[in-house]
Amino acid sequence: MPIEDSTIEWTPSWNGKNNIFKVATLILPKEQQPDSDKAMKFCEDLSFTPWHGTEEMRPLGGVNRARKIVYLETSNLRHSLNNVKQALPTEEIWDSFLLK
């Protein structure tokens, strides 16, 4: 399929193969406290981007190259307005949101 031509719809199957497949499962523990002020602040300071993956799974094509710039600038602005540095969460931070 042509990666650089975003006007062409990709079909679910191509070359006789199903090209839609599960790549991950997101599991949120029941013990999590998503409505606490601490958790809400933590979530506000996170950045989600498809480029937090491996090189093999990086987004391809011109549209995604443009998205990368938009994601980065939006994240930079939000972190600047929140007066926080961008950082990946540590295991210690994740654990702090679980009930003990």
Residues 53-58: contacts with CB within 8 Å, 24+ apart? 57/23
- Pairwise CA distance, residues 56 & 82, whole Å: 33
Confidence of residue 1 (pLDDT cuts 50, 70, 90): low
User: Model confidence over 77-98: pLDDT tens digits?
Assistant: 989 998 988 877 778 877 776 6
Q: Kind and range of the H or E element at 36? A: none
pLDDT digit string (tens) for 18-74? Answer: 777 788 898 877 766 667 787 778 888 888 888 888 898 889 899 899 999 999 999
Distance (Å, whole) CA 49 – CA 67: 9
For the whole model, what pTM was predicted? 0.62
DSSP type of residue 55:
G
